[in-house]
Amino acid sequence: MSEKKAVSIANVLIYSEDVFSTLGLTTLIKFYRPSLRISHIASPEDAYAVSCNKVRFVIAVATQTTNLMSLMNTMQYLREAKPDVPCLLLSDDLDPVLPALMPDIPTLCLNTPIRHIYESISRLLSRKGTVSLRYPALPLLTQRQREVLCLLASGASAQDVSTELGISLKTAYVHRRDILMRLNISPSYYRGVFTARLS
Q: For 52-81, what is the mean pLDDT?
A: 88
3-state secondary structure (DSSP) of residue 108: strand
Reported as a pLDDT band with limits 50, 70 and 90, residue 195 is low
pLDDT of 134 over the 50 cut:
no
Residues whose CB falls within 8 Å of the CB of residue 98, separated by 6 or more in sequence, listed in order: 62, 68, 89, 91, 107
Q: What are the structural domains, with CATH classification, of the chain?
A: 12-126 (3.40.50.2300), 143-197 (1.10.10)
Task: Specify the pLDDT at position 22.
Answer: 85
pLDDT of 194 over the 70 cut:
no
Largest CA distance in the chain: 54
Average of per-residue pLDDT values in the chain: 81
Angle, helices 19-32 vs 114-126, to 10°: value is 70
Task: Specify the pLDDT at position 7.
Answer: 60
Reported as a pLDDT band with limits 50, 70 and 90, residue 135 is very low
Higher pLDDT, 17 or 198: 17
Q: For 62-71, what is the mean pLDDT?
A: 85
pTM for the whole thing? 0.74
